[in-house]
Structure 1
Amino acid sequence: MNCNEIKKRLTRYLERMCGNEEVAEIARHIESCPDCARELRGLQSVRGMLRCCRPKKPEAVAVAEVQTAVLERTTHAHMVPGMKGRDAPAREQPGRFIAAAAVLLLVAGGLIWQSIQPVEPPSVQRTLSEDDMFFILQEHALIEDQSVFTSGTLGSVMVNYKE
């Protein structure tokens, strides 16, 4: 094997994930190649540093306290005497339902009011004078299957020039 193949397998060798034949082959190569031996020593030092940095296990009491707090705030909040707030059952918070009903009534009233308002046609702001040319916009209804626009209308513009 060449050095590139050995370097690819050094991590497996270090973690003892190789077969017996592969271990023997890598060990023979490392004994004869100083570059691969240096690479293996570097990997061993990194592995040692990582082992030193492992976090210690938390105390069992601290873990139990966290688990109890999570359970009380999520699944059993209604069973804990004196537990109030966002986890309390809905029957103890009628204000939320009243607020939701008020919002729904306002939205429904606004929609109804909008639907009963008459639609006013747009008004012309400027009057025509004798020397102005003027445009007339016409709408022509089309048969549904021949429609160009989604509304079923086709617009046209007429221009009138004064002579």
Structure 2
Amino acid sequence: MYTSFKLSYLLIPFLLVTQACGIYKLNGASIPDGMKTFNVQFFENSAPIVVPYLSQQFTEALKTQIRNQTRLSQVNSEGDAIFEGRITGYAISSTAVGGANDMAQANRLSITVAVKYVDNIKPENSFEQSFTRYQDFQGTVQSQEQNLITAINKQLTEDIFNRAFANW
């Protein structure tokens, strides 16, 4: 009992200091004091290959990532944090060729997104950057495309989130 009493004396000041710092952290995110809202604008698909549902899925995945990892409220107009951009690349390439007919043995789906992030609370945190992620697969893309896009969107949104809120 004495050690738990002693531990609470150490823990309480630590909690008070961390609460007074002006930045809160949740899952590694550093949200500036005063930032309350975010807005994710629709990411148009301007890639040479256009998948009809990719823009909507990516935009929603980014909104979900921010909602799930922060306490920020989503708004439909100007926010304290604004994400905008476009999908600039969607490519399928061979990563391994072999066999009797020199056929593709493994393929890669890559997606590139150009992002502009505006931090209206701390403008020095704003950035414009392209992010690319890929997934390797075997067989035809048609049978796996939906799952591949979901996995790539998760990676891309984590990268964008970390760049905006975790200073990576």
TM-score, with length taken from structure 1: 0.22
* Greater fraction of residues in helix: 1
* Greater fraction of residues in strand: 2
